[in-house]
Amino acid sequence: MSGKILLILSRCSACSWLDKNSFKDLVSQIRLDKRIGKIIETDKICDSKGKKKLKSSASGGCDRAIIASWCSQESLGKIPLPKGIDPSLVEFVDLSLLSPKGPKERSSPELLAGAVRESAARLALSRPVKDRRIRYSSKFVAVIGSSDAAIRAARALAQHGIPTRLIISQKASKPKDGNIELIDEATINGLTGIPGNFRLSYRRRGEELETDCAAILLVGERCMADVRPPTNPRVRFVPLERLEDFATSGLRVKGIAFLDDLGSLASVSDVSVPLWHLLLESAKSTAVAGYAENVTVIARDVKAAGLLELSWKEAAEAGVKFVRYDDKTRPRIDKSEPIILVKDLVLGETIGIPADVVVAPVTTRPWEPAFVERLFVPGDWDLRVRSRGPQRGLGQSPCDGVFVVGYAGFAKLTDQSYPELGATVSEIVAFMRRGYHIARGAIAEIDEDKCSACNTCVRTCPYRAARMNDNWKAEIVAEKCAGCGSCVAVCPSRAIELKNCTREQIESQVIATQEAIS
């Protein structure tokens, strides 16, 4: 490894704002940097002629490259690199971002040269990394969920020619489609493996069984359809997160009722503690805001709320009324009047609570620990299995290959869930057609000699990629690591380094920014 850098400098006549002399200036200034071994100047890097020129030219003994151009990285696409350049050691410098004065005036060559040198300072210390492609060993998609949406998803996947295993908890009849394999009366025990090669263990009629699958789709078993729309048109249902919009609309309402979970059949632990906190806080602020005459919390579960005695008390002082109901007799909405009928557990009789707005809280059931382990984060954020929309595409979870739709992600209405389902099915199809999982090479590495087994990285990692091994040293699971570096910065004994974003590299780049100006 020579460690010298090849600079590919594109002077796109269409978008470069430098005239000939300034360009010469720029090149001569960059030449001062000893890290840069060779400079290739091209006129247009983005068209086929420029690419041909690049391919034919020699690397001049360099093994890494900086591509500096006025085009954006995306528009450049895949650039053919001269022989001997490692593809993992290529950095892009977007010069258009740095041209300070716009097209009419000249941008200063010093500044552009500075940016190239700063990036060179970092690149000179990089080590080559290799991404591994792991082919999927399974061809199945497991769809977990009992609702209509789950069956729809399985059908849609089968139509795309993807063999699907539909795992549901009730008893069901055999589906007509040959691509769907039904596993009914099953409950999920655990999930191991990596994307493409998951092993899903479940219990069926007293037997412990296991199945393989490449991807998993969790469909909101208890999606918003469960909290049935009220039969009375004079009563509005509002999800908890939308209550604020309702409050700012300036409407005055007769009563607001907070329901803990109308449709749920599940156990007492259904509503988690943080959620209860949220619910009590919202009830309190609604009572304080004073746009509703009656604010009532109708609750079945007091175990979790008992832990929040202070919030409970504060809410009661603000004027919130509390009604407890029995698990067997659930509250229902009166057919003509905007009233909720609840059988009060304390009084033992049915009472009517005036409410024209019903707030359904965002409940996500504490999913099987195996999924929580895989999908989401440590500590007090406990039970929220979140699908994170904008960054990773609809329905995708932080774990590649595990897809979450509907209420399993976060509470949404049915009319939001179905479009999401359609989008997610196409995501899964794309995932399956790709056929391999990329285990990234640019990951965190742990120096075992320095590790003091303090567990900090394990608690911090958003992907749960860090774990303790048998020798009581931390280790990073390469397949899960996304290379964010959160563990690097929190490690108190500085035992972790991120490949190609090491402390040394950041420091040298920071120093280069200071040199560039002097």
List the beta bridge partners of residue 38: 6
Please calculate the CA angle 514-517-518 and round it to the nearest 5 degrees.
Answer: 90
Contacts of 207 (CB under 8 A, 6+ apart): none
Q: Using the rule CB under 8 A, is 479 a contact of other proteins?
A: no
Identified binder of other proteins from the candidate list 14, 32, 310, 517, rule CB under 8 A: 517
- Asked if residues 409 and 390 have their Cβ atoms less than 8 Å apart, the reply is no
Q: Using the rule CB under 8 A, is 516 a contact of other proteins?
A: yes
Start-to-end CA span in the chain (Å) = 31
Identified binder of other proteins from the candidate list 76, 98, 453, 458, rule CB under 8 A: 98
Q: Using the rule CB under 8 A, is 489 a contact of other proteins?
A: yes
What is the C-alpha to C-alpha distance for residues 152 and 411, in angstroms, rounded to an integer?
Answer: 19
DSSP 236-298: EEEEGGGHHHHHHTT--EEEEEEES-SS--S-GGGS-HHHHHHHHHHHHHHHHHT-EEEEEEE
What is the C-alpha to C-alpha distance for residues 398 and 159, in angstroms, rounded to an integer?
Answer: 27
Identified binder of other proteins from the candidate list 77, 102, 233, 492, rule CB under 8 A: 102
Stretch that binds other proteins, among 152-160, 344-352, 403-411, 497-505 (CB under 8 A): 497-505
Stretch that binds other proteins, among 59-67, 99-107, 400-408, 431-439 (CB under 8 A): 99-107
Q: Using the rule CB under 8 A, is 100 a contact of other proteins?
A: yes
What is the C-alpha to C-alpha distance for residues 256 and 236, in angstroms, rounded to an integer?
Answer: 10
Tell me how far, at minimum, the Cβ of 483 lies from other proteins, in Å. 5
Nearest of 458, 507, 514 to residue 124 by alpha carbon:
507
What is the C-alpha to C-alpha distance for residues 144 and 183, in angstroms, rounded to an integer?
Answer: 10
206 φψ region: left (φ > 0), alpha (ψ -120 to 50), beta (else):
left
Q: Using the rule CB under 8 A, is 96 a contact of other proteins?
A: yes
Q: Using the rule CB under 8 A, is 506 a contact of other proteins?
A: yes
Binding mask 109-138 for other proteins (x = CB under 8 A): --x--xx--x--------------------
Q: Using the rule CB under 8 A, is 486 a contact of other proteins?
A: yes
Tell me how far, at minimum, the Cβ of 410 lies from other proteins, in Å. 12
**Residue closer to other proteins (CB basis): 99 or 417:** 99
Tell me how far, at minimum, the Cβ of 1 lies from other proteins, in Å. 23
Q: Using the rule CB under 8 A, is 396 a contact of other proteins?
A: no
The single residue listed with the structure tokens 């493996």 is 193
Q: Using the rule CB under 8 A, is 518 a contact of other proteins?
A: yes
Q: Using the rule CB under 8 A, is 94 a contact of other proteins?
A: yes
Tell me how far, at minimum, the Cβ of 379 lies from other proteins, in Å. 10
Stretch that binds other proteins, among 260-268, 280-288, 325-333, 495-503 (CB under 8 A): 495-503
Size of the site for other proteins (CB under 8 A): 44
Binding mask 366-395 for other proteins (x = CB under 8 A): -----------x----------x-xx----
Tell me how far, at minimum, the Cβ of 267 lies from other proteins, in Å. 29
Stretch that binds other proteins, among 93-101, 126-134, 145-153, 331-339 (CB under 8 A): 93-101
HEC string of 221-249 equals: CCCHHHCCCCCCCCCEEEEHHHHHHHHHC
Tell me how far, at minimum, the Cβ of 446 lies from other proteins, in Å. 15
In angstroms, the Cα distances linking 404 to 185, 200, 218, 463, 492 are 21, 16, 5, 16, 35
What is the C-alpha to C-alpha distance for residues 461 and 485, in angstroms, rounded to an integer?
Answer: 9
The single residue listed with the structure tokens 């000893």 is 34
In angstroms, the Cα distances linking 56 to 49, 67, 82 are 11, 16, 7
Helix (H, G, I), strand (E, B) or coil at 385: coil
Identified binder of other proteins from the candidate list 273, 453, 468, 484, rule CB under 8 A: 484
List the beta bridge partners of residue 213: 198
**Residue closer to other proteins (CB basis): 270 or 400:** 400
Tell me how far, at minimum, the Cβ of 499 lies from other proteins, in Å. 10
Q: What are phi and psi of 498, to 5 degrees?
A: -100, 125
Q: Using the rule CB under 8 A, is 515 a contact of other proteins?
A: yes
Identified binder of other proteins from the candidate list 346, 430, 498, 504, rule CB under 8 A: 498
What is the C-alpha to C-alpha distance for residues 188 and 300, in angstroms, rounded to an integer?
Answer: 27
What is the C-alpha to C-alpha distance for residues 396 and 215, in angstroms, rounded to an integer?
Answer: 11
Tell me how far, at minimum, the Cβ of 118 lies from other proteins, in Å. 6
Q: Using the rule CB under 8 A, is 450 a contact of other proteins?
A: no
**Residue closer to other proteins (CB basis): 324 or 464:** 464
Q: Is the dihedral of CA 340, 342, 344, 348 positive or negative?
A: positive
What is the distance, to the nearest Å, from the Cα of residue 265 to the centroid of all Cα atoms in its chain?
Answer: 29
**Residue closer to other proteins (CB basis): 250 or 390:** 390
Positions in 398-437 near other proteins (CB under 8 A): 398
Q: Using the rule CB under 8 A, is 354 a contact of other proteins?
A: no
List the beta bridge partners of residue 208: 203
**Residue closer to other proteins (CB basis): 72 or 416:** 72
Residues that bind other proteins (CB under 8 A): 72-73, 94, 96-103, 111, 114-115, 118, 377, 388, 390-391, 398, 460, 462, 482-486, 488-490, 498, 501, 503, 506-507, 509-511, 513-518
